[in-house]
Amino acid sequence: MTPDQQRETAVEAALGKLDLAAKVALLAGADMWSLPANQEIGLGRLVMSDGPAGVRGEHWTADDPSVSVPSPTALAAAWSRELAHRTGQLLAQEARRKGAHVVLAPTVNLHRSPRGGRHFEAYSEDPLLSGEIGAAFVSGVQSGGVATTPKHWVANDSETERYTVDVRVDERTLRELYLAPFEAIVRKATPWGLMASYNQVNGVSMSANQELNNGVLREEWGFDGILVSDWTGARDTVRDALAGLDIAMPGPVTVYGEHLVKAVREGLVPEETVDELARRVLRLAARVGLLADAPAAVPAEELPAAIDGEALAREVAAAGMTLVSNDGVLPLSDSLGSVALIGAAAVEARIGGGGSAQVFPTRVIAPLEGLRTALPQETAIGFAVGADPNVDLRPLAARTEARFLGRDGSELGRVALPDGTARWIGQLPAGISFADLAEVELTGVLAARSEGLHRVGIRGVGRFVLEADGAVLFDDVVVPVGTDPAAAFLNPPEQVFELELDGARTVALKLRHVLPENSGFAGFGLVSFVLGHGEPTGTADELLDEAVAVAAAADVAVVVVGTTEEVESEGVDRASLALPGRQDELVARVAAVNPRTVVVVNAGAPVLMPWRDDVAAVLLAWFPGQEAGAALADVLTGAVEPGGRLPTTWPATEADVPVWEVETTDGRLEYREGLFVGYRAWQRRDGAAPAYWFGHGLGYTDWSYEGLELRLLTPETGGADPYAPVAEAVVRVRNTGARAGREVVQVYLCPDRADAATPGSALAGFAAVTAAPGELAEARIGLPLRAFQRWGAEGWTGREGDHQVRAGRSAADLPLSVALEVPLPR
Ligand code: BGC
């Protein structure tokens, strides 16, 4: 018997021993992150964990640290299947270290609008790039014996009203854009799971979507993994079960459990349907090695060799950094006398976006530290904040203690915490249960470094009493804003109080939090609040003046600008693409006094850069993960070439953005633009060019494109596999610069006559090559059958008409081209 057969046999044997209630018990969370064990059938407890930029594990706090890798936009910007694969392997290693069996990733929704709040967490505006990077990531994680759940299936491309929004999208667009990355991943990498999104598609909620879940995903694509709800996304016992939603998370209160048992007894759900769902859950358990008598999909001796997480996080961060303009100032010369490093993010790097992708690393290397380590000691580094875009106060930077109090005021336990963040989701520290908990009291000491106006803040919802040295500053109830239950902990409102302190001294802070009756999330407990603190700062004008003075006195100015956790986060879409606070003014003023100004953009999604033509270089660092500053120094000094190419087009102004609207009308969000998303849309916008096109990015050498040949291949499978290459583009590029480098060669298929329904080009394949100065390199790029197909009334058919196959360095820079008649001859 093959291992697959052994697993299936063990699954059937286990299933045969279970009665209805026991089968149903497998289909819903026992708690926030796990499915229950069942000793009778030798089934272990199965643990799931977020997410794409690191594996958080079962605790949402800094005392359970994880390696933090660059956010998905950064990974996609590297255009490297190999790096995505290794990143996946690292996350599998992290998952195993943390006792997790399923990583709730990758996010392969598309960058439909740059306003999407989770843009940083998804890969690209292009379905082919998303699918390629996603498939490599999934195969990497699963080669480490850990399951994945590509998410959020499907059309969850923005956050506004995400629980209920009804996305209206035509069939062709759905197939060619939004389903495409999922299909590529399912067919190429066989994910063991998938996560259903909260939203509806064409009037049907995705957790209850028979047609897409059972029809397209399972019957058509042959998906044999589990479909898990997004958290609290299972809302209808009968419809969800019938639509093949295998797992309702989190638990213990779900629409499955006793409700599903009852529905079966009443004949509303056939017991065979429950068998199907349970079979798939058992198959998942078998694959990850949690079911007796079933060999794990990856035997222990075949697990990948141990990966150095810090080194890989640094490598990926540098590989994804995207240099969009450079007048030659980069790489920095090693004979610089002085560098001015400016910006709040230069000392407090934004390593990731807000929400469920958040992880807590053991260390973060900020740009200041990274540059200090990398630059020669003789190089003086001046620092100034310039403009602080943070709206909310940072958590009190001192150890605190949390006391847990019961309904009668008795102490249930206490724990020490690394800072002013108090957060427990689904689980409290050992020995304490949510059922008993009424209050949490956080105490800490504010050790003031300077005299003046300090700020102390509370972020959270529920009742709070804040005391400073015994004096009550606040005693009231804070109510949540909006209706998104996740927003109550992802983006809670803040209350700020001022404390005038004369000289360096300490203040004893005590924050008592009375839990709200209902956490907002049905069925599982949640404690989430922050005791914040802000040191006295100069006025905004003083900060700007100080930065200008520091910049004027230095040989080179490096300004790190970026977004904040409030701006880029799960649960909310962006209202504006402008950098928050006075950062644009900061860059403009620094550039006015220092012609050698390099701007580093620390953001996960496009921002406006009105000053981009007035500075010497612009480097997009994305959300680079914990090794941010080390990787940035590698790139700035030229130790490593900036490897990134844009996975998404960056607009110059908000008015030009092709898809701006993420708000609903009568609960609906119409994807009216059809296929015209990203570069496909920009290409037909007469007069409005983006700031930087999809695919664009500079290294530290130059390339010339010297030849393109197209070879038609005869697929051995007779065309059954849409991802089998049917043609190979052979592209010759020469390194014409002075140093070795890597070039990402991109191939697009362009119909000679684009019509109202068909975009002017679509990425069909890509590959990276490396070459020494003067050397010629040959990129061989397989072009899959699917690139030559379109979706219509008869399903997938060959595109008609004459086409050009073009090769080059971005969607707008395609110097080579050959004519092609499609459908291809077979
Ligand atoms: C997010 C998912 C995430 C889940 C668990 C949801 O709110 O949409 O992406 O995996 O929470 O944290």
**58 CB under 6 A from ligand 1?**
no
- What are the Cα distances from residue 708, in Å, to 80, 154, 642, 779? 22, 36, 26, 10
Query: What pLDDT was estimated at residue 503?
Result: 74
How far, in Å, from the CA of 29 to the mean position of ligand 1? Answer: 14
Stretch(es) of the chain classified as CATH 2.60.40.10: 701-819
Pocket test for ligand 1, best of 162, 228, 230 (most atoms within 8 A of CB): 230
Is the C-alpha dihedral spanning 323, 329, 332, 337 positive or negative?
A: negative
Stretch(es) of the chain classified as CATH 3.20.20.300: 3-302
**Digit-coded pLDDT (tens) for 188-212:** 999 999 999 999 999 999 999 999 9
Atom of ligand 1 minimally distant from the CA of 571: 7
**51 CB under 6 A from ligand 1?**
yes
Q: Are 133 and 142 spatial neighbours (Cβ–Cβ below 8 Å)?
A: no
| Lookup: tokens for 359 | 């992880």
**29 CB under 6 A from ligand 1?**
no
How far, in Å, from the CA of 97 to the mean position of ligand 1? Answer: 21
Q: For 394-534, which CATH superfamily applies?
A: Galactose-binding domain-like (2.60.120.260)
Pocket test for ligand 1, best of 33, 60, 231, 489 (most atoms within 8 A of CB): 231
**486 CB under 6 A from ligand 1?**
yes
Mean pLDDT check: name the lowest of 4-8, 72-76, 570-574. 570-574
Pocket test for ligand 1, best of 50, 66, 91 (most atoms within 8 A of CB): 50
Q: Give the C-alpha separation, 324 to 473, whole Å.
A: 48
How far, in Å, from the CA of 771 to the mean position of ligand 1? Answer: 42
How far, in Å, from the CA of 74 to the mean position of ligand 1? Answer: 20
**Digit-coded pLDDT (tens) for 526-566:** 888 999 999 888 899 999 999 999 999 999 999 999 998 88
457 closest CA partner among 536, 531, 564: 531
**Digit-coded pLDDT (tens) for 439-485:** 999 999 999 888 889 999 999 988 999 999 999 999 999 988 776 66
Atom of ligand 1 minimally distant from the CA of 104: 10
**231 CB under 6 A from ligand 1?**
yes
Q: CA torsion angle for 731, 736, 742, 748 (degrees, to 10)?
A: -30
**117 CB under 6 A from ligand 1?**
no
110 closest CA partner among 167, 64, 57: 167
**151 CB under 6 A from ligand 1?**
yes
**Which residue do the tokens 């006015």 mark?**
592
Q: Whose CA is nearest to atom 9 of ligand 1?
A: 356
Q: Any catalytic annotation for residue 230?
A: yes
Mean pLDDT check: name the lowest of 366-380, 420-434, 644-658, 808-822. 420-434
Percent helix, strand, coil in the chain (nearest 5)? 25, 30, 45
Query: What pLDDT was estimated at residue 434?
Result: 86
Q: Give the C-alpha separation, 208 to 255, whole Å.
A: 12
Backbone torsions φ then ψ of 520, nearest 5 degrees: 100, -35
Helices (H), 32-160: 72-77, 81-97, 127-143
**356 CB under 6 A from ligand 1?**
yes
**Which residue do the tokens 């009291």 mark?**
441
**104 CB under 6 A from ligand 1?**
yes
Pocket test for ligand 1, best of 356, 519, 572 (most atoms within 8 A of CB): 356
Atom of ligand 1 minimally distant from the CA of 105: 10
How far, in Å, from the CA of 198 to the mean position of ligand 1? Answer: 10
Pocket test for ligand 1, best of 199, 232, 570 (most atoms within 8 A of CB): 570
Query: What pLDDT was estimated at residue 64?
Result: 86
**Which residue do the tokens 């800490």 mark?**
444
pLDDT-based confidence at residue 785 (cuts at 50, 70, 90)? very high
How far, in Å, from the CA of 381 to the mean position of ligand 1? Answer: 41
Q: Whose CA is nearest to atom 6 of ligand 1?
A: 231
How far, in Å, from the CA of 395 to the mean position of ligand 1? Answer: 23
Helices (H), 98-229: 127-143, 171-173, 180-189, 210
Residue 273 pLDDT > 50 = yes
**Digit-coded pLDDT (tens) for 665-695:** 999 999 999 999 999 999 988 778 999 999 9
Q: Are 68 and 623 spatial neighbours (Cβ–Cβ below 8 Å)?
A: no
Atom of ligand 1 minimally distant from the CA of 50: 10
How far, in Å, from the CA of 705 to the mean position of ligand 1? Answer: 44
How far, in Å, from the CA of 357 to the mean position of ligand 1? Answer: 8
Residue 467's identity, in one-letter code, is E
pLDDT-based confidence at residue 37 (cuts at 50, 70, 90)? very high
In DSSP notation, 214-261 reads IIIIIIIT---SEEEEPTT----HHHHHHTT--BB-S-SS-SSTHHHH
Q: Give the C-alpha separation, 425 to 687, whole Å.
A: 50
Decide which of 254 and 487 is more confident: 254
Q: What angle do CA 552, 614, 126 make, to 5 degrees?
A: 130
Atom of ligand 1 minimally distant from the CA of 250: 5
Q: Are 27 and 36 spatial neighbours (Cβ–Cβ below 8 Å)?
A: no
Q: What angle do CA 523, 527, 528 make, to 5 degrees?
A: 125
Decide which of 386 and 429 is more confident: 386
CA 124 to chain centre: 11
Q: For 701-819, which CATH superfamily applies?
A: Immunoglobulins (2.60.40.10)
How far, in Å, from the CA of 102 to the mean position of ligand 1? Answer: 13
> Over the range 408-442, which residues count as b (16 or more CB within 10 Å of their CB) and which as e?
eeeebbebebebbbbbbbbbbbeebeeeebebbbb
How far, in Å, from the CA of 524 to the mean position of ligand 1? Answer: 14
Q: Are 133 and 81 spatial neighbours (Cβ–Cβ below 8 Å)?
A: yes
Residue 169's identity, in one-letter code, is V
Pocket test for ligand 1, best of 60, 104, 424, 528 (most atoms within 8 A of CB): 104
- What are the Cα distances from residue 644, in Å, to 74, 258, 371, 635, 673? 8, 51, 20, 11, 28
pLDDT-based confidence at residue 418 (cuts at 50, 70, 90)? confident
For the domain bounded by 3-302, which CATH number is listed? 3.20.20.300
Query: What pLDDT was estimated at residue 826?
Result: 44
**Digit-coded pLDDT (tens) for 613-662:** 999 999 999 999 999 999 999 999 999 999 999 999 999 999 999 999 99
Stretch(es) of the chain classified as CATH 2.60.120.260: 394-534
Q: Are 601 and 681 spatial neighbours (Cβ–Cβ below 8 Å)?
A: no
Q: Are 375 and 425 spatial neighbours (Cβ–Cβ below 8 Å)?
A: no
> Over the range 91-100, which residues count as b (16 or more CB within 10 Å of their CB) and which as e?
bbbbbbebeb
Atom of ligand 1 minimally distant from the CA of 198: 8
Q: End-to-end CA distance of the chain, in Å?
A: 38
How far, in Å, from the CA of 356 to the mean position of ligand 1? Answer: 5
| Lookup: tokens for 392 | 């909310």
Query: What pLDDT was estimated at residue 230?
Result: 97
Query: What pLDDT was estimated at residue 45?
Result: 98
Q: Whose CA is nearest to atom 12 of ligand 1?
A: 356
Q: Whose CA is nearest to atom 8 of ligand 1?
A: 230
33 closest CA partner among 102, 105, 108: 102
Instruction: Count CB atoms within 10 A of the CB of residue 283.
Output: 24
In DSSP notation, 390-410 reads --SPEEPSS-EEEEEEETTS-
Report the pLDDT averaged over residues 721-745. Answer: 96
| Sheet arrangement for strand 802-808 | 762-771, 741-751, 802-808, 816-821
Residue 718 pLDDT > 80 = no
**569 CB under 6 A from ligand 1?**
no
**230 CB under 6 A from ligand 1?**
yes
Report the pLDDT averaged over residues 751-769. Answer: 90
Atom of ligand 1 minimally distant from the CA of 121: 9
How far, in Å, from the CA of 231 to the mean position of ligand 1? Answer: 6
81 closest CA partner among 106, 50, 103, 56: 106
How far, in Å, from the CA of 296 to the mean position of ligand 1? Answer: 26
**196 CB under 6 A from ligand 1?**
no
Which of 230, 246, 392, 484 is labelled catalytic? 230
**Digit-coded pLDDT (tens) for 237-248:** 999 999 999 999
**791 CB under 6 A from ligand 1?**
no
Atom of ligand 1 minimally distant from the CA of 107: 9
CA 723 to chain centre: 25
Atom of ligand 1 minimally distant from the CA of 152: 9
Q: Whose CA is nearest to atom 3 of ligand 1?
A: 356
Atom of ligand 1 minimally distant from the CA of 486: 7
